[in-house]
Amino acid sequence: MMERVLMNGNGMANRVSNSAADGRMRAGFSAVVRAVVLAGLALALQSCGGRYQAPLDDQSAVLERTAPPIYSTTGPSSVGGVADSAPMSSSSTASGATVAPARAIAAGVRVQPADGVNVNVVNDPGGIRRTSIARQPLGGSAPVSPQEPAPAIAPASSPSVSSPAVGAASANAAATQAPAPLVGQSHIVARGETLYSIAWQYSLDYRALALANNLQAPYTIYPDQRLSLNIGGVSNNALQSVPAIPAAPAGTAAVASGQRPAAAEASRRTGNVPSRVIEDIAWQWPVEGRVLRTFSGSAATTSRGIDIGARRGDPVYAAADGDVVYSGRGIQGQGDLIIIRHSARHLSAYSHNSSMLVSEGARIRAGDKIAEVGTDSRGSELLHFEVRVDGAPVDPARYLPAR
């Protein structure tokens, strides 16, 4: 508190309190401050009043709503059970950009792309598309014509032995189909090969192979001889006139047939053996065991027959009467192989043997022991058995008796 000295008329000094004066000063100061604050608020409200926004829930009439890029369902039964929203179609936004239509990307699901984004879909206009590719072979020859992609292969069903009716149809189809001519291809004869084993490698009729190369009786072939594999010019009538071709390994004289190996006869199968007569030939199973792999006529496979499981060393029997026309291991992937001719049109083969008891030219009967079971390239103990008619592979289940 401040004091002030006043001189009265008598010359006395009186101390007078200045409380009233201080109150008036404070009141005036407060009034000035209030005026300044109110002026500032007025200016602030004036500057931002035009930009005032209501709460979010009240902006439905002001804000522009656009469809975001989201995944949505196409029905109440779709993924996750979410109800379907309204279908989206191609339209224009406020800015003039075109919104692409929704694309179905899965069962019950579609995608709505963002503005200006083009979703490429295979085979849709403007989408990603697979086109044919022209391939230029080595050597500067003419380019290969583009081909359409191969159709998808359906998954294979569980293996099972074909029924006689189904087997008959497939066998007849394979037997009547002439193999495609191997134009321009040839084979160099190796020592130990026979005309039968060479024709077997390429699924050709051995008679047609002999005629295509102008071979004459006794149809001897020699090591390093070049044989043409183009049998396209051989007619069916010409095949009927070919006599029985002896089984002679390359470079050797014809082997006289009719000799029945004693070991094969002594170890032949005995008892009541089931058989089936097909095309005048009585067939029986070559080994006891279950079928591990059924027949496949695909050109992509090199072994078109059946695999029969057995133990190593089990006997392998001739499936029908005939002559041994090849006994060796000259065909890659077949191991020790035996081929038997049962008629001019019918051949059978027995692969992956651990030992062979017969050789070319031997005459055998159905049930004679010709070999013992071995293992294939994967180490599995089995016999691979094939039947060929006119050089074409057929399903052996068509010929073997039902079990």
Largest Cα–Cα separation, the chain: 177
pLDDT of residue 151: 41
Is residue 130 a contact partner of residue 147, using CB atoms and an 8 Å limit?
no
pLDDT of residue 382: 96
71 within domain boundaries: no
Residues facing residue 3 across a β-bridge: 17
Q: Which residues of the chain register pLDDT less than 70? A: 1-23, 44-184, 253-258, 299-303
Dihedral angle over CA of 171, 176, 179, 180, nearest 10: -130
Q: State pLDDT tens for residues 372-387.
A: 999 998 999 999 999 9
Q: What are the structure tokens assigned to 145, written together?
A: 């014509």
By residue range, what is the domain housing residue 230? Answer: 164-398
pLDDT over 90, % of the chain: 39
**Sign for the pseudo-dihedral over CA of 309, 313, 314, 316:** positive
Residues facing residue 385 across a β-bridge: 306, 350
23 within domain boundaries: no
pLDDT of residue 208: 95
Q: What are the structure tokens assigned to 83, written together?
A: 């109800």
77 within domain boundaries: no
Q: Which CATH number is 193's domain given?
A: 2.70.70.10
Closest CA to 375 of 330, 332, 336, 327: 336
Q: State pLDDT tens for residues 50-96.
A: 555 555 545 545 455 555 555 444 444 433 444 444 444 444 444 44
64 within domain boundaries: no
pLDDT of residue 28: 74
121 within domain boundaries: no
Number of domains in the chain: 1
118 within domain boundaries: no
Q: Give the global pTM.
A: 0.56
Distance in angstroms (rounded) separating the CA atoms of residues 26 and 340: 131
pLDDT of residue 308: 97
Closest CA to 353 of 401, 308, 394: 308
Q: State the Rg of the chain over Cα.
A: 48
Residue 335's Cβ-count burial label (10 Å; 0-12, 13-18, 19+) is middle
Q: What are the structure tokens assigned to 340, written together?
A: 């038997």
pLDDT of residue 169: 42
296 within domain boundaries: yes
Q: How many helices (H) and strands (E) does the chain have?
A: 6, 21
146 within domain boundaries: no
